[in-house]
Chains A and B, each alone.
Chain A
Amino acid sequence: MPRLNFSKELVMREVADFQSRLLASSEVRHKLRDVSLCPTPRSSIASLESITLYRYLGEPRGEPILIIYALVNRPDMIDLEIGRSLVESLLARGFDVYLIDWGYPSDSDYSLSLDDYVGGYIDYFVDIIRDSLGSEKINILGVCQGGTFSVCYAALNPEKVKRLITTITPIDFDTQFDSISHLFRNVDINLLMDAHINMHGDFLNAIFLSLKPYRLLQQKYIHFLENIDDFDASATFSRMEKWIFDSPSVAAKVFQEFSLEFYQKNSLFLGNLVINGYKVDTQKLTMPILNIYAANDHLVPPASSQGLRSIVPTQNYTEREVPGGHIGIYVSTQAKIAVAGILAEWLAELGEGS
C-alpha cells in the first residue's frame, strides 16, 4: 500500500497556505515587473547593422575571450544577475570579455545566411578585437548554437583562434535522446520558411516549452508561488522569465540553412558542411579545445555535445561534464564555479593562465 501520510489538519493548512501565497503573489509580481538583467557594465565598441560587439568593463585586462551566443535567445542569460553571471566570473578571473549581441533581426534581415553570420559578422568582430589588441589570435567561447557557429568559424579560420571553448553545444544532431531533431525530422523546412518571412521567436519558444510542458508550464510556477516569501529567489525567477519570453526572431535564411544542414542532414558531424563554397574541415581545429556540456541537458543531450570528440584532432581536446540542465550550468548557484572554474583549471593544465 502507498505511504501517503496526510493529516486532515495539515492538508487544510496547506490549501489555505496556497491561497494566501497566491494572494500575496500579486503584490510581489507587481514589484518584480521592473527587475533588470545584465548588471555587468559594458560598452559598445563596434556595430554592424543591428549587431553589436560589447566589451565588458573591468580591470585588470588579461587574455581576450569572445563570447558567441545562439540566435534563438538573448545573451542576457550569461549575465543574469550578480552572483549568477558567467561574465562576472570570467572578469573575476582576469579575462578581457567581449560579446557579440545579435540584436533583434527585422524582416529586412530575412536573407541573412549562415555565411553572413559565420563568415561575415563573427569574422568582422574577431578582426576588430585582434586589431585593437594587436593580437594574432583570440579565445572564443561559444554557447549552444553559438558554439556550433564557433566550431564552424574556427575550422574556417584556425589562424585567428587561440583556444576554442564550446559549452552546451550541439554537434551531432542524430543522437538517441535529441528531442528537437526528432520533432523536426519530418518537417518540410523549405515549405515552413516559404510560408514565413522570419522564424518568430514565439514559435521557437513554444517548441522548447513543449518539450517539458508539465514542468515548464505548470510546476515551476507552483514552486515560484511556494517560495513567494523569498524576494531574492522570486527576483531571480522573474529575471529568468523575462529572458525566456524575450525571444528574438531568427532570420529566415539562416534558420532554413541551420535546420536543413544541421538538424536534418547532420552535415557538420558527417563532414559534409560547406559554407559559401568552403568546406568546414573540423580536422583543422588544431588549437586547444575545451568542450563543456550539461549532464541533464534535454535540449542538447550530452551525446550531441560529445560528438565533437569524434571529429576533431584529439591531442588538444578536453571535455568536461557539469551537473545540471541546459540553462542551469549558467544560472544555478553553482554557476560561478562551474564554467569559469573549469576554464581556469583547464588553462592551468595547459600551463597557461589568463
Chain B
Amino acid sequence: MSSKDSSAASGWNMSEHSALLNVGDGAFFPINRAALGYQAFLESMSEIVLRQGLEDDIGQSIIDFIDKLREQLPAGVKDCHPSNWYVNPIYPALLVLSESNLKELNDIQLATEAWVEKGSSIPVVGPQREWQTTFLSVQHDHIQCHKAIVVLCRHYYSATEEALRCFSLALAGMDDNRKINTLAQLYDFWIGIAEGVYNTTLMRDSFSRDFGDAVNALSKYKKSVTKISDMILGAMDLPDIKMIKNLLSKQGDLESQLRDLRLELTNLRDK
C-alpha cells in the first residue's frame, strides 16, 4: 500500500506532517534513510490503529496486514519502495524482491550472454585480436558478476519474506507477560525478529558460498576492467596500474631497507 493511499484512507495525512523535507543531510548520511523507513512503519501501523472500531482487535488487524504484505511480495516489486520499513537495509537500491523480477533479470542476462557469444564467433585476425578478446572477456566477467549478485539477492528476498512470516507468528503467539504499548516498541520487536531471521540466513552454507561467488566475480570483473584500462593507457603512453604497482613495490622495498638501516644505525650508536 503506498503512503499516499494509506494516509488518504485514514484521513491522517502524513505528508503534511513530514519533517523529512526540511532535514538536511547532516553528519550522518544513513539517518535519513532510516528515518524514511521508520516513518513508513509509523504510517502503516498508525493507519491500522486509527481505522479500528471499538470492538476490533488491533493485534489481529496488524497480523492480517503483515500477512497481506508477505503475500504481495512476489508481485510487488514495482510498488515496493526502497524506503519501506520491511525492506532489507543492505540492498534498498538493488531491490529484487520478486521472483518475476529475478526471472526478468535472468532473461536479460541470457540474452546478453547470447549476444556476447555471437560476437565472439566473429573471426578475429591481426593486431585487433587482443583488443577484441579482452573486450569480450570484460563483457563475460560483467555478466558473471551480475549473475552472482542476483543469486545473492535471492537470499535477501527469502530473508525478507521469512522475517515478515516470523513477525506475524510472533505477534500471534505473544504471551501475557509481553505488552507492546507503543509503535516504537512494536518496531523494536520487529527489528529483533528481522535481525534473527537475517542472521540465520547469513549463517547458511549456501549464503557463504554465494557471497564468496559474488565477491570473487566482482574481483574478476575488476581485474578485467583494469586490464583493458591498462591497454588503453599503454596505447596512449600514459602510466597504467601495472606501472604504478611496480613503482609502489619498489618504494616499499626502499622503505623497508631504510627501516633496517635505521635500526642498524641505532644499534651501532647504542654500542
Contact = CB atoms under 8 A, between A and B. Distances in A.
A195 B180 contact: no
Q: How large is the interface on B (under 10, 10 to 19, 20 to 34, 35 or more residues)?
A: 35 or more
A16 B57 CA distance: 24
Interface string A11-22: 110111011101
Contact of B212 (A11, A32, A185): A185
B191 interface: yes
A197 B22 CA distance: 41
B22 A219 contact: no
A213 B197 CA distance: 12
A217 interface: yes
A210 B89 CA distance: 9
B220 A191 contact: yes
17 contacts: A2-B59, A2-B180, A3-B179, A5-B179, A12-B12, A14-B183, A14-B184, A19-B17, A22-B23, A25-B31, A124-B263, A177-B203, A192-B216, A195-B222, A196-B222, A214-B191, A238-B27
B172 A2 contact: yes
A265 to B, nearest CB: 16
Contacts of B252: 108-112
Contacts of B20: 22
A350 interface: no
Contact of B226 (A179, A195, A219): A195
Interface in A241-286: 241-242
Q: Give the one of B14, B88, B219, B226 with max A CB within 10 A.
A: B219
10 nearest A-B residue pairs (beta carbon): A186-B212, A2-B59, A29-B26, A111-B252, A221-B34, A217-B89, A22-B19, A23-B19, A195-B219, A4-B59
B186 A182 contact: no
B106 to A, nearest CB: 22
Contacts of A219: 34, 187-188, 191
B255 A49 contact: yes
Contact of A186 (B34, B172, B199, B213): B213
Interface stretch (B36-44, B126-134, B232-240): B36-44
B248 A111 contact: yes
B171 A179 contact: no
Nearest to A222: B38
Contacts of B253: 111
Contact of A4 (B27, B34, B35, B186): B186
B268 interface: no
Contacts of A225: 31, 35
Interface string B30-69: 1101110111001101100110100001111011000000
Task: Please report whether the interface of chain A is mostly helix, strand, loop or mixed according to DSSP.
Answer: helix
Given A8-B50, A18-B38, A183 B248 contact: no
B191 A15 contact: no
A214 B180 contact: no
Contacts of A195: 218-220, 222-223, 226
A116 B259 CA distance: 10
Interface string B146-160: 000000000000000
Interface in A1-49: 1-6, 8, 10-12, 14-16, 18-20, 22-23, 25-26, 29-30, 32-33, 48-49
B62 A4 contact: yes
B191 A6 contact: no
A112 B191 CA distance: 41
Contacts of A23: 19, 22-23
A221 B263 CA distance: 49
Contacts of A124: 263
A217 B17 contact: no
B24 interface: yes
A107 interface: yes
A61 interface: no
Contact of B89 (A3, A109, A182, A214): A214
B28 interface: yes
A211 B46 CA distance: 30
B121 interface: no
Interface string B1-13: 0000000000010
A130 interface: no
B211 interface: yes
A185 B191 contact: no
A226 B38 CA distance: 12
Q: Give the one of B28, B198, B216, B226 with max A CB within 10 A.
A: B28
Contact of A222 (B34, B198, B245): B34
Contacts of B188: 219
Q: Give the one of B31, B178, B186 with max A CB within 10 A.
A: B31
A3 B59 contact: yes
Nearest to B222: A195
A242 B188 CA distance: 25
Interface string B168-200: 000110101011111110111001001100110
A224 interface: yes
Given A33-B26, A187-B212, A221-B34, 16 more contacts: A1-B59, A1-B60, A3-B59, A6-B183, A10-B182, A11-B49, A29-B24, A29-B27, A108-B248, A108-B255, A182-B203, A184-B212, A191-B223, A217-B89, A224-B31, A242-B27
B85 to A, nearest CB: 8
A221 B39 CA distance: 12
A111 B245 CA distance: 10
B243 to A, nearest CB: 13
A194 interface: yes
Contact of A19 (B19, B50, B62): B19
A217 B191 CA distance: 11
B42 A191 contact: no
B202 interface: yes
